[in-house]
A and B are shown apart, each in its own frame.
Chain A
Amino acid sequence: MTLRDAPIRRKLMTIMLLTSGLVLLLTCAAFVAYEFLTFRQTAVRELSTVGKIIAANSTAALAFQNQDDAREVLTALRADRHVVAATLYDSRGRRFAVYPDRRPPEAFPSAPGRDGFRVEQSHLVGFEPVVQGNNERLGTLYLEADLGALYERLRLYATIALLVIAVSFLAAYLVARKLQRQISHPILALAETAKAVSERHDYSVRAPKLGQDELGLLTDAFNQMLTRIQQQNQALREGEERVRAVVNSALSAVIVADATGTITDWNTRAETMFGLGRTEALGRRLQETVIGSGGLETYQRAVDRSLEPRAPPAEARRSRRPPCAPIGVSFPWSSR
């Protein structure tokens, strides 16, 4: 079923959920995309921050060649599981302390490299100068972070985004189901009323008005239309009854036939005159019921003439002739 043919409730729900779903999806996609595009820079910035803190804490250890203290400072990196290795070099570029202790010495660069952080294969590596104040360089700190662990965080972000979308979508569904009634209820009530009118020809029903908005105005207009139709029907029926009373009380027989000769009215006097009840007479053909065979031709001519296009009224007035010639017909007479 296309949306065009769907019930209005489903249409409203679909529109609201599609809109909110699209907004959610785009928002979350934008966040995840931003995170993805900036996460290398973020990773570099974070590692360089850690590097600066560790370097600042290592100055005294390097200045006074205290390896225990240097190792203790590096051990603090345990708190950041992304940092997989660290080394302190003294001012001559010799390894002074390493982290973690168990790592084979070949896994560490033998001498400090260029200052700054960069991505190498799946790792983020960098060298941070160890300086006290604006004085000479005391040594260099090497840090190595695992990008895999950082990608893991990106996956976590994506999972959180999906979870947020799911929960928000559910909330949107519940709210939409509640709110769509504001629009669908008056329309459905209107449709229900219209259906009752068209199926049962009951013009006395009224659509309930549920608000002062455009739908309220529509309901009002619809109800007013029903009232007017009801009033007109009433007036019509009353007029018909009045005419019938007049016709029935006439002393002459009144018979009305349409162009095909079918009898459409038959008054009380005609009933007594022709001995035929109104209900039996209606629908019969005039030729067979009233006019004898001798008058049939005359009648047909009169009917044909009356159906010809009329001459303009001005001319008719000048000629002073009646527009219709009297029909000369003989009735079969019964004195019953």
Chain B
Amino acid sequence: MSPGGWAGVWGLVWALCLAHGGGVAAQSAPTPEYRLKAIFLFNFAQFVEWPASAFPEPDTPLVIGVLGEDPFGPYLDETVRGETVNDHPLAVRRYRRVEEIGACHILFVSRAEQGHLGEILDSLKDRSVLTVSDADGFARRGGMIRFVTERNRIRFRVNLEAVRAADLTISSKLLRPAQIVSTGED
């Protein structure tokens, strides 16, 4: 790798890390880190297959939901605008409480919901919803994908048991860069 050519990318990643390190401040104002996470959320849609029942009509929108405080600002809407996945248009919905969740395919659980993870995951059981969060211990507690920041880079952990239990099929390509964890594992 060329140090010169990669300076930009390294710089960006470093900036993301610093922003993440900013802690609570990052929650209130959208940061570049969440721009990347928004892209990742969209990309998950391309590597995951939902059961046929999740899309009753050929043009049923693929819904990306955000539960709790929205850390993405405008990034998520910008990312999915005009995009389709397998001919399904994308839609973003925001929920304050878990009871509000209707038709949803990917659900991002805000860090602010850290305290209610158990009841959120329990209520989504038996529904084909890909749950994603950057909350601590999310995958270990039965969530499907958790974003982690390792060595200045955004990586994710996948709980395959949870994915299978929800009748979702995850591409083996997605698992290449992922770290696989099990429920209850630290």
Using a CB–CB cutoff of 8 Å, the interface residues on chain A facing chain B are 56-57, 59-61, 63-69, 71, 94-98, 101, 104-105, 132-136, 138
CB-based nearest A residue for B171: A60
Shortest Cβ distance from A53 into chain B, in angstroms?
12
CB-based nearest A residue for B12: A65
CB-CB contacts below 8 Å: B42-82 with A: 43, 46-47
Is A65 a contact of B8 with CB atoms below 8 Å? no
Shortest Cβ distance from A176 into chain B, in angstroms?
61
Known: A104-B2, A135-B85, A136-B83. A61 touches B176 (CB 8 A): yes
Shortest Cβ distance from A279 into chain B, in angstroms?
120
Complex formed: what's the CA distance from A134 to B173 in Å?
16
Known: A63-B46, A132-B46, A132-B47. A69 touches B177 (CB 8 A): yes
Known: A94-B8, A94-B9. A60 touches B174 (CB 8 A): yes
Query: Lowest 4 CB-CB distances: which A-B pairs, in order?
Result: A105-B2, A66-B177, A63-B43, A60-B173
Tell whether B108 is near chain A: CB-to-CB under 8 Å. Answer: no
Is B173 a contact of A59 with CB atoms below 8 Å? yes
Is A57 a contact of B173 with CB atoms below 8 Å? yes
Known: A60-B171, A134-B86, A135-B46. A65 touches B154 (CB 8 A): yes
Shortest Cβ distance from A101 into chain B, in angstroms?
6
Is A69 a contact of B4 with CB atoms below 8 Å? no
Number of residues in B with C-beta < 8 Å to the partner?
25
Tell whether B5 is near chain A: CB-to-CB under 8 Å. Answer: yes
B174 CB contacts on chain A under 8 angstroms: 60, 64
Is A60 a contact of B47 with CB atoms below 8 Å? yes
Is B9 a contact of A64 with CB atoms below 8 Å? no
Known: A60-B47, A132-B46. A105 touches B5 (CB 8 A): yes
Tell whether B24 is near chain A: CB-to-CB under 8 Å. Answer: no
Is A66 a contact of B83 with CB atoms below 8 Å? no
Shortest Cβ distance from A50 into chain B, in angstroms?
18
Is B4 a contact of A65 with CB atoms below 8 Å? no
Known: A105-B4, A133-B46. A69 touches B176 (CB 8 A): yes
Is B5 a contact of A95 with CB atoms below 8 Å? yes
Tell whether B94 is near chain A: CB-to-CB under 8 Å. Answer: no
Is B40 a contact of A64 with CB atoms below 8 Å? yes
CB-CB contacts below 8 Å: B1-34 with A: 1-2, 4-6, 8-9
B105 CB contacts on chain A under 8 angstroms: none
Tell whether B138 is near chain A: CB-to-CB under 8 Å. Answer: no
Complex formed: what's the CA distance from A135 to B47 in Å?
10
A60 CB contacts on chain B under 8 angstroms: 47, 171, 173-174, 176-177
CB-based nearest B residue for A136: B83
Complex formed: what's the CA distance from A65 to B86 in Å?
22
Q: A65-B154, A69-B177 are in contact. List 11 more A-B contacts (CB 8 A).
A: A59-B47, A61-B176, A63-B40, A63-B43, A64-B43, A66-B176, A94-B8, A98-B2, A133-B86, A135-B84, A138-B43
B173 CB contacts on chain A under 8 angstroms: 56-57, 59-60, 132
Is A64 a contact of B86 with CB atoms below 8 Å? no
A136 CB contacts on chain B under 8 angstroms: 83
CB-based nearest A residue for B13: A65
Complex formed: what's the CA distance from A105 to B177 in Å?
25
A94 CB contacts on chain B under 8 angstroms: 8-9
CB-based nearest B residue for A135: B46
A96 CB contacts on chain B under 8 angstroms: 9
Tell whether B36 is near chain A: CB-to-CB under 8 Å. Answer: yes
Shortest Cβ distance from A95 into chain B, in angstroms?
5
Tell whether B155 is near chain A: CB-to-CB under 8 Å. Answer: yes
Complex formed: what's the CA distance from A312 to B111 in Å?
150
